[in-house]
Amino acid sequence: MAGWPFRVEEVAVPVCLWCGGRDADPARSPDLGATLERRLPNARRPLLAEAGGGLLWTRAGDVPRGITSRATRR
């Protein structure tokens, strides 16, 4: 829970913040990543309204496809 050793606003690479609208753990991301998305200059935040917090398990195919499809469009 310590601060990061860099300024979030200076992250230049594209970032994808996958969030589940039914994630019930407010300690992880109380606003489902909206604040972090605003701070990162090259971020996008797919919000899967019906999903919970275990996206890497429940949407294991969608997450990598979403990341690679964006990379190939650049």
Residue 40 inside a domain? The answer is yes
pLDDT at 6: 94
Residue 3 inside a domain? The answer is no
44 beta partners? 16
Indicate the number of domains in the chain: 1
DSSP 18-48: -EETT---TTT-TTTTHHHHHHSTTEE--EE
Residue 18 inside a domain? The answer is yes
Residue 5 inside a domain? The answer is no
Considering the entire predicted model, what is its pTM? 0.71
HSE (CB half, 13 Å, CA atoms) of 65? 4
43 beta partners? 15
Residue 47 inside a domain? The answer is yes
For residues 37-57, average pLDDT:
86
For residues 1-13, average pLDDT:
91
Confidence at 57, pLDDT banded by 50, 70, 90? confident
Q: 35 is in which domain, residue-wise?
A: 12-72
Instruction: Give percent of the chain with pLDDT exceeding 70.
Output: 86
